[in-house]
């Protein structure tokens, strides 16, 4: 049986042939499987560090403690900017990794200044909106991240007429009673092709959750700090369903969907007459 992940699905852009060929057999996968199919770039590594900080702030169910963590992180980001050196508090949150070494140190500082504050803000906007919209939920949301979310890894799903195993982890899960919000944190510029990829990833997580916990009411949101500059004041995009993933269920594995970004990354492009890149 093959394994599928949100990243593999995003890389395929929904092209069945590309997806099918990039999904490994389940027994072949290792701990690196959940990262990109290609080597991670420095931006992706730096983005992961920003994610760790956002998760540190939001995980838990005490809203006062969350507010304190939020303010402490904002202060530490400000110190990082003023001193051109990563604040010790942020290093601690990231498990004392060598954040300052080499080029990655410079990239991380730039990302911390530019992205942490806006991404924190967008995440808070999402929480505030949900508290407003869902009655009696103010201050009662439980937030978990990655391995601490209810386990949805290794769920079986039908894709391209085959049973596959989903390998995934989720950036943030907000829960109140039977309402579940899957939050996908994204750094970087929200260009249209990236938003398409992010939606596919989030849809796979939502569908996987629904398979495992069919009674839950699920919403998905992409959370990005730069959306505000593009006229989206909350900094979030709602993913209202998982139709793109459901369409894949009965699609033939040789079905093609050419597109600049998926063809560029596609591992079978040398044997594909429809490639566009």
Q: Interface with ligand SF4 by CB under 6 A: which residues?
A: 15, 17-18, 256, 258, 262-263, 266, 268-269, 272, 274-275
Which value, to the nearest 10 degrees, does the dihedral of the CA atoms of residues 199, 202, 207, 211 take?
180
Task: Give me the least distance between CB of 63 and ligand SF4, in Å please.
Answer: 45
Q: Of 11 and 184, which CB lies nearer to ligand SF4 in the complex structure? A: 11
Q: Of 190 and 259, which CB lies nearer to ligand SF4 in the complex structure? A: 259
Q: Of 41 and 274, which CB lies nearer to ligand SF4 in the complex structure? A: 274
DSSP for the chain, please give it: -EEE-HHHHHHHTT-HHHHHHHSPBGGG--GGGGS-SSPPPHHHHHHHHHHHHHHHHH-BS-HHHHHHHHHHHHHHHHHHHHHTS--HHHHHHTTT--TTSHHHHHHHHHHIIIIIHHHHHHHHHHHHHHHHHSTT-TT--EEE-GGGSSP-TTEEEEETTEEEEE----SEEEEETTEEEEEEEE-S---HHHHHHHHHHHHHHHHHHHHH-TTSEEEEEEEEGGGGGGT-TT-EEEE---HHHHHTTS--TT-----HHHHHH-TTGGG-TT---
Task: Give me the least distance between CB of 188 and ligand SF4, in Å please.
Answer: 22
Q: Of 52 and 255, which CB lies nearer to ligand SF4 in the complex structure? A: 255
Task: Give me the least distance between CB of 199 and ligand SF4, in Å please.
Answer: 17
Q: Of 228 and 253, which CB lies nearer to ligand SF4 in the complex structure? A: 253
Q: Of 98 and 276, which CB lies nearer to ligand SF4 in the complex structure? A: 276
Task: Give me the least distance between CB of 12 and ligand SF4, in Å please.
Answer: 7
Task: Give me the least distance between CB of 147 and ligand SF4, in Å please.
Answer: 32
Task: Give me the least distance between CB of 277 and ligand SF4, in Å please.
Answer: 7
């Amino acid at each position: 049986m093959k394994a599928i992940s949100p990243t593999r699905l995003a890389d395929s852009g929904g092209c069945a042939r590309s997806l099918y060929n990039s999904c490994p057999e389940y027994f072949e996968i290792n701990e690196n499987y959940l990262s990109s199919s290609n080597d991670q770039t420095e931006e992706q590594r730096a983005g992961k560090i920003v994610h760790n900080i956002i998760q540190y702030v939001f995980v838990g169910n005490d809203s006062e403690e969350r507010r304190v963590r939020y303010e402490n992180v904002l202060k530490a980001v400000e110190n990082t900017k003023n001193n051109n050196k990563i604040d010790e508090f942020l290093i601690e949150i990231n498990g004392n990794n060598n954040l300052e070494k080499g080029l990655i140190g410079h990239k991380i500082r730039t990302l911390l200044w530019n992205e942490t504050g806006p991404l924190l803000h967008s995440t808070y906007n999402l929480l505030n909106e949900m508290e407003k919209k869902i009655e009696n939920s103010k201050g009662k949301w439980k937030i978990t991240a990655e391995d601490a979310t209810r386990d949805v890894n290794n769920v079986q799903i039908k894709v391209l007429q085959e049973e596959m195993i989903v390998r995934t982890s989720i950036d943030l899960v907000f829960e109140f009673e039977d309402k579940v919000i899957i939050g996908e944190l994204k750094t970087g510029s929200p260009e249209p092709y990236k938003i398409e990829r992010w939606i596919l990833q989030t849809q796979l997580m939502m569908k996987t959750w629904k398979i495992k916990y069919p009674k839950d009411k699920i919403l998905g949101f992409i959370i990005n700090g730069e959306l505000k500059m593009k006229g989206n004041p909350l900094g979030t995009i709602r993913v209202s369903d998982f139709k793109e993933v459901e369409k894949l269920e009965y699609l033939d594995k040789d079905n093609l969907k050419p597109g600049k970004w998926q063809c560029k990354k596609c591992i079978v492009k040398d044997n594909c007459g429809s490639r566009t890149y």
